[in-house]
Amino acid sequence: MLTITIDGNEYSADGNKTILEICRENTISIPTLCEDESLKPFGGCRLCVVEVQGRKNLMASCSVKAEEGMVINTNSEKVTNARKTVLDLLVSNHPMDCLTCSKVGQCDLQEYAFQYGVNLSFEGEKKNYPRESLNPVMMRDQSKCILCGKCVRVCEEVQVTHAIDFSGRGFHSKITAGFDLPLDDKNCRLCGQCISVCPTAAIMDKNFIGVRPWDVKKVKTTCPFCGVGCNFDLNVVNGKVVGVTPNETSIVNGKSLCVKGRSHTDFLYSEDRITTPLIKINGKFEEASWEEAIQKISENFLKIKKESGSDAFAGYRQPVPAMKIIMYFKNFSELCWGLIISITVLEHVMLLQ
């Protein structure tokens, strides 16, 4: 442990941690646009700069580790002016459609510009890229990209997919897939990790386009698609689920979601979804109540068991079921069919004996 001074107060700190990490541990707020706890330090946005006594230049707190005796100032006039200038430059090259932008109220750039009282001081050319909306998961608007690199790094470091990267130079730099092709299932897993980390509306989940964050009620739940047990938030507007977002408090998955977990909500309101039990009568399926369906199943089970015994039954489960589903299946099979079920928990395999 070492001792450092931040804004006039002494703190004990771990020498393996960055200035930014130590500040956050001690509830000292420092703005960032390119930093994420799940990613390696990048030092690209320069918004997290702080003043370190004895250093000629301002230091990027996200990539500089603490040293014994450091005297750090996080909100001096020099630091504040530097951050304001960075934000001013970013906003000057950003579309000014905040009133109709789907990220309004959740945009980090907008929030920091408000905090630092940014007024447009620079005039010049603006990027004007066409929106890319060819895949079913996301819409990309490169005109709103601030080149923080978080989407590139989460794709590389977390998903290990390397689907996108920086291309071009200077003002013409942008984030692209190989050969500047649109993102689709040929060059991207469409997992949506980049959506979660993007600080602006450069990458948007299509489910949330036109949705205002203050209309959303979040309900934490567990993903039903496999036995991993990922948690996420259902985003509900007027009683209808409009989409899914990660919940950072999730123990299993944190901020990560797969493509099924993130994009499955379309089936909830599909016209093809079966919402009532069906019983085949004279070769044709007819709608029935749950009581009628359960009674019919019970009658058929008893008839088969009486005529052919328990060996006539077999069960099928989903590829990676949750443990509670396995136990329900085990209890059901033993009580209703008279089967003895052996469960290999570690391999998620069921064997009928």
Task: Please tell me the distance from the alpha carbon of residue 167 to that of residue 262, in angstroms, as a whole number.
Answer: 28
The domain 131-210 is placed in CATH, from the list 3.30.70.20, 3.40.50.300, 3.90.1150.10, 3.50.50.60, at: 3.30.70.20
Chain segment 180-233, per-residue pLDDT in tens: 888 888 888 889 999 999 999 999 999 999 999 999 999 999 888 877 889 999
The ranges assigned to domains in the chain are 2-89, 131-210, 312-353
Tell me, which fold does domain 2-89 have in CATH?
Ubiquitin-like (UB roll) (3.10.20)
**Angle CA 294–297–302, to nearest 5:** 125
Do 140 and 203 contact (CB within 8 A), yes or no?
yes
Among 187, 44, 210, which Cα is nearest to 139's?
210
Cα–Cα distance list, 40 to 43, 194, 222 (Å): 10, 15, 28
Range among 71-75, 93-97, 279-283, 311-315 rated most confident: 71-75
Output the furthest CA–CA distance in the chain (Å, rounded).
Answer: 90
Distance CA 198, CA 220 (A): 22
Determine the Cα–Cα distance for residues 241 and 268; give it in Å rounded to an integer. Answer: 8
Res 184: pLDDT = 84
For β-strands 240-246 and 231-237, DSSP reports them as: antiparallel
For 62, the token pair is 């996200």
> In CATH terms, are 2-89 and 131-210 the same topology?
no
* Cα-Cα end-to-end distance for the chain: 59
Residue 344's identity, in one-letter code, is T
Tell me the C-alpha distance between 16 and 34, whole Å: 20
Q: Using one digit for the tens of pLDDT, what is the confidence trace for 142-189?
A: 999 999 999 999 999 999 999 999 999 988 999 999 888 888 888 888
How does pLDDT run across 7-60, given as a tens digit for each residue?
999 999 898 999 999 999 999 999 999 999 999 999 999 999 999 999 999 999
For the residues 68-92, what does the mean pLDDT come to?
Answer: 95
Q: How far apart are CA 273 and CA 267, in angstroms?
A: 7
Tokens at residue 115, please? 């905090």
Q: What is the pTM of this model?
A: 0.81
Q: How far is CA 255 from the centre of its chain?
A: 5
